[in-house]
Amino acid sequence: MRRRMRSHWTAAAAVVMAGVLSLSACGGGGGQAAQPTQGGGDAKKQVEVFSWWTGPGEADGLQAMRKIFEERNPSYTFFDAAVAGGSGDKAKALLQSKLQADTPPDTFQGHAGAELQGYIKAGDLEELNFLYDELKLKDAFPAQLVDQISVQGKIYSVPVNIHRSNVLWFNPAVLKEAGVAGAPKTLEEFVAALEKVKAKGKVPLSIGSEWTVTHLMESVLLGSLGTDAYNALFKPGADWNSPQVTKALEQFKTIMSYAGDPQDDWQPAAKQVADGEAAFNVMGDWAYGYFHNPPEGGLGKKSKTDFDWAPAPGTEGTYLWLSDSFTLPKGAKNRDGAVAWLKVAASKEGQDAFNPKKGSIPARKDAEHSLYTDYLADALKDWSSNKLAGSIQHGVAVNQPWLASINEAVGLFIGTKDVAGLQKALADAAQANAQ
Amino acid sequence: MLVRRVRTWLPGLLLVAPSIVAIGVFVYGMLGWNFRLAMTDKHDEVSEGRFVGLENFIGLWDQPRWHLSVNHAIMFTVVFVLGALVLGWLLAFLMEKGIRGEATFRAVYLFPMAISFVATGIVWRWLMNSGMEERAVGLNRLFDAIGLPQWQWFRDPDWGMAAMAIPAIWQMSGYVMALFLAGFRGVPEELREAARVDGCTEWGVYRHVVLPLLRPVTLSALIILGHISLKVFDLIVAVSGKQIITDVPAVFMWVAVFDSHDPAKGATIASYIVLSVAIFVVPYLIWSVRKERRS
């Protein structure tokens, strides 16, 4: 009898356990999906804004834009879906799984230009020409920018800022010590200056992880080929096998031979310049914030004395640009809210609130100039007068698969130092991906 | 009669059914789905993907990066597995010989296993910084101070992956020590005594009695370390990120899927990783099942 009882008891327990397990499995799935709740009736509707702005400066800029958004749209609340991590590596991986599961955020950050091609091809993005017409954005942004982000006449994103990629950062004291008069204007002068610094026993050129080498390569390509030939490299049928490209890559190899020990990322590489261990570093203008900001997020250095800047050698008069932008994914839960966000992101007020904090300049031509001082004043001046070329590493000139192939080629080149192999890999990548 | 029989097996079945279903779907189902994807030409997210057989599996061997990542994985595996085995064995041997405060040492050596590979990686990234001379931090600074030569660590093109195995050895050798210590303690004192009576030296006791009895432990340690090593991802990414100089198949797979947007290529690499682990594990499983049957 007792045995009977016990087996009853275990049977019942097993059934209950199984039930609990299957229940909790369902419950876990439903509860974990942190989706904005559907606001029914008079509840405020959430707008899920997906970005990778979590660092100092960039997150402050996002907050400033959020404030304007919430003032203008009392019926919406802002849901910050930011995912931490450098150039958006982790954010992009998560975004991809969200898009594939057809649960896109209401709007997401992406680099304007070819980086968005994959999303466009997959039919994930709605075109925004209606918004450009409504807000007369084609007049507000430079014509060449609108041209470079259009895909067959259609525009899929609203650029909120502009960064410059071809900036040569240098330490004036180290240059003086090595007897270099000023920032080198051409690649030949650059190599001569690197040689002089090397003779003094300092690191001539600091570099970070492998992507910073691709970043350097795009500036060398632009400096060697000139703006028009550089831009032509990204048109269908471009000739990456030309002797001009060979020469540019040879120069790149020479410059790389002066590079110091690779650092973990761009910040430690930039810090070497700030600390006077290295003379030069080629990095985007986000480095300005790092050099200049007070010690909580930056190095607290004085501009023009502790560090200085110039266009990367041979690229004066050209703005090698990249831009953070927002998109309108198809099938977003709250399309109206997303459009309201895009309107703020496109507005003069929104861009002027965001950019001084993020350390970038607005994409609009009519920005409030007094807000942008020091480096940013320089950048704003150049932006309105320079020719434009799109960055490779930061998603303007090439799409993501193409960039992955270029990064692979550069990564292998760092090991092999084989220019012919690099050129062949670059040509193959262009062949496979140009469209 | 029937009711009684049902009563005996039904509760057990109900208890394990959810796990069986979950494993069936999420492990074996996904494995099958991955192998199927690897045999299609779905080289971007939107195309349908036709069956192309083993084309991707063969094509991968034309890519210099694949050779590099396979070589890296082999070097990492050899250094890591041997290093952790030898160090773990040595630690266990010292414990076995009897030291004061054994419990404390045991906890200290076992402790790294409680830390995730990511945390280990972040600390070792700093320790293995490649700076030289006055620019050095971490271990290079220490080496400089005591006059040892400085290294480039994982950025060395030839031996970088051997350096990358050091944090992994640091992490896992305590666990191997625990395994071996259990093995040592499992050897009955009578056997040792018997050997000594037969005129064995102390070394001979180890050579002929203890070590042969440790063979199953060594084998399980080998399997555990081997499969961790072949699929290593988190440690590499935490130490160096997605850089070619430390590329391994799992990192290559991440790049293929999320940067190159090439699902078929990613699935192919994933298949190779699964197969390489299977080469380690399957013979072991067969061996242990046979052994169980025999006993």
Predicted pLDDT at A19: 52
pLDDT at B3: 85
Output the six-digit token pair for A6.
């016990």
What are the chain B neighbours of A261 within 8 Å (beta carbons)?
130-132, 135, 152, 155
Q: Determine the residue of chain B that is closest to A86 in CA distance.
A: B241
Interface test with A, best of B245, B248, B257, B265 (most A CBs within 10 A): B245
Q: Which of B3, B4, B15 has the highest number of chain A CBs within 10 A, making it the mutation to test binding with A?
A: B15
Q: What confidence tier does A297 reach under pLDDT thresholds 50, 70, 90? A: confident
| Domain ranges across chain A | 13-161+325-385, 164-320+394-433
- Give ipTM to 2 decimals: 0.87
Report the pLDDT value the prediction gives residue B205, as an integer from 0 to 100.
87
Flag if A210 and B10 touch (Cβ within 8 Å). no
Asked whether the CA dihedral B186, B188, B189, B192 is positive or negative, the reply is negative
Residue A14 has pLDDT above 70, yes or no: no
- pLDDT of amino acid A56: 80
**pLDDT at residue A31, rounded to an integer:** 35
Predicted pLDDT of residue A35: 42
For range A2-11, the mean pLDDT: 52
pLDDT of residue A348: 95
Tell me which residue in A93, A123, A414 faces B258 most closely, judged by beta carbons. Answer: A93
Identify the closest residue of chain A to B13 by CA–CA distance: A14
- Note whether A13-161+325-385 and A164-320+394-433 share their fold: yes
Instruction: Supply the pLDDT for residue B149.
Output: 85
d(CA B266, CA B260): 9
The answer to whether A403 contacts chain B (CB < 8 Å) is: yes
The answer to whether the CB atoms of B44 and A118 lie below 8 A apart is yes
Residue-wise pLDDT for A52-109, tens only, equals: 998 888 899 999 999 999 999 999 999 999 998 766 778 888 998 899 889 999 999 9
Q: A42 in contact with B at a CB cutoff of 8 Å? A: no
If you count DSSP H runs as helices and E runs as strands, how many of each does chain B have, helices first? 15, 0
Q: For chain B, list residues with pLDDT below 70.
A: none
Cβ pair B244:A403 closer than 8 A: no
pLDDT of A132: 96
**Partner residue opposite B14 with nearest CB, options A14, A262, A408:** A14
Interface contact A11-B244, CB threshold 8 A? no
User: pLDDT tens for residues A327-386?
Assistant: 999 998 999 999 999 999 999 999 999 999 998 999 998 989 999 999 999 999 999 889
Nearest to B259 among A209, A272, A400 (CB): A400
Per-residue model confidence (pLDDT) at position B284: 84
Question: Cβ of A56 under 8 Å from any chain B Cβ?
Answer: no
Residue A191 corresponds to which tokens in the numbers above? 């190599």
pLDDT at A20 over 70: no
User: What pLDDT digit, counting tens, does each position of B214-255 carry?
Assistant: 988 998 899 999 989 998 999 999 998 889 999 999 999 999
Instruction: Check residue A208 and report its DSSP letter.
Output: -
For an interface test with A, the pick among B66, B154, B259, B269 (most A C-beta atoms closer than 10 Å) comes out as B259
Beta-carbon separation of A264 and B132 below 8 A: no
Candidates A373, A360, A349; CA nearest to A323 is: A360
A250 contacts A239 by C-beta, under 8 angstroms: no
Beta-bridged to residue A318, according to DSSP, are A387
Q: What is the mean pLDDT of residues A123-134?
A: 95
Nearest to A408 among B14, B155, B244 (CB): B244
Residues 202-241 of A with CB under 8 A from B: 203, 209-210
Smallest CA–CA distance, residue A15 to chain B, in Å, is 7
Which residue among A122, A209, A405 places its CB closest to the CB of B46? A122
**Does the pLDDT at position A42 exceed 50?**
no
CA A44 to chain centre: 32
Residue of A100, A124, A394, A412 to mutate when probing chain B, most B C-beta within 10 A: A412
- How many CB pairs below 8 A link A and B? 95
pLDDT for the residue B206: 85
What was the pLDDT predicted at B50? Answer: 93
Lookup result for tokens 């093995």: B183
d(CA B131, CA B148): 14
**How much is the pLDDT for B151?**
85
Q: Residue A364's closest CA among A338, A391, A382, A346?
A: A346
The minimal CB distance from B244 to the residues A7, A15, A412 is found for A412
* CATH code linked to domain A164-320+394-433: 3.40.190.10
pLDDT at B134: 75
| Cβ density class A315-336: b for 16+ within 10 Å, e for less | beebbbbbbbbbbbbeebbbbe
Q: If you measure CA to CA, which chain B residue comes closest to A121?
A: B46
pLDDT higher than threshold 80 for residue A30: no
Whether the full predicted model's pTM is greater than 0.90, yes or no, is: no
Q: What is the DSSP string of B238-272?
A: HHH-S-GGG--HHHHHHIIIIIS--HHHHHHHHHH
| Interface check A264 vs B, CB under 8 A | yes
pLDDT at position B145 is: 87
Question: Would the CB atoms of A261 and B7 count as touching at under 8 Å?
Answer: no
**For domain A13-161+325-385, which CATH number applies: 3.40.190.10, 1.20.120.80, 3.40.605.10, 3.40.50.11780?**
3.40.190.10
- pLDDT band at A33; cut points 50, 70, 90: very low
Of A17, A100, A209, the CB nearest to B243: A209
Rounded CA separation B204/B211 (Å): 10
Chain B residues with CB-CB distance to A100 below 8 A: 45
pLDDT digit string (tens) for B148-186? Answer: 888 889 988 889 999 999 999 999 999 999 999 999 988
Q: What percent of chain A has pLDDT over 90?
A: 74
Contacts of A123 in chain B (CB under 8 A): 46
